[in-house]
């Protein structure tokens, strides 16, 4: 499995502004059962999309106010950013085929 780097709000904003590829932010909570189910899938996709998208995770429990600024009300949530702007969101747990179907058109 590919480890997903965990970012702070400052690091995410910097990544969103400078990344030459789309950035998929995985909003997660350590106490969230659906997050624990989704993490292995996101790790697989991180490896599969290595040259197409940058995947980072963000702990909504630790950074609640920052998560709200991103419009995240609960975890897990995946948001794909292009050019610093959100282009697609997936709320809650989704199986791998659904994530691929939703994200791939934007890569």
Q: What is the CATH number of the domain that holds 54?
A: 3.40.30.10
What is the tally of structural domains in the chain? 1
The whole-number average pLDDT for the span 2-27 is 92
Using pLDDT thresholds of 50, 70 and 90, give the confidence band for residue 1: low
Strand stretches in the chain, DSSP E? 23-28, 54-59, 77-82, 85-91
The whole-number average pLDDT for the span 29-48 is 94
Is 1 a member of any domain?
A: no
pLDDT for 32 equals: 92
pLDDT for 87 equals: 96
Q: What is the mean pLDDT of the chain?
A: 93
Is 34 a member of any domain?
A: yes
Separation between Cα atoms, residue 21 and residue 52, nearest integer Å: 6
Q: Which residues are catalytic?
A: 32, 35
Q: 81 lies in which domain range?
A: 9-106
The whole-number average pLDDT for the span 84-97 is 95
Is 2 a member of any domain?
A: no
In this model, does residue 41 exceed pLDDT 70?
Answer: yes
pLDDT for 86 equals: 95
Is 98 a member of any domain?
A: yes
Is 3 a member of any domain?
A: no
pTM for the whole thing? 0.94
């Amino acid at each position: 499995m590919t480890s997903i780097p965990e970012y702070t709000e400052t690091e995410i904003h910097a990544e969103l502004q400078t990344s030459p590829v789309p950035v998929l932010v995985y909003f997660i909570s350590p106490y969230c059962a659906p997050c624990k189910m989704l993490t292995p899938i996101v790790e697989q996709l991180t490896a599969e999309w290595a040259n197409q998208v940058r995947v980072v995770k963000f702990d909504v429990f630790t950074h609640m106010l920052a998560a709200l600024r991103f419009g995240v009300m609960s975890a897990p949530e995946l948001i794909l950013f292009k050019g610093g702007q959100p282009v697609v969101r997936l709320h809650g747990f989704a199986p791998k085929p659904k994530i691929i179907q939703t994200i791939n058109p934007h890569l």
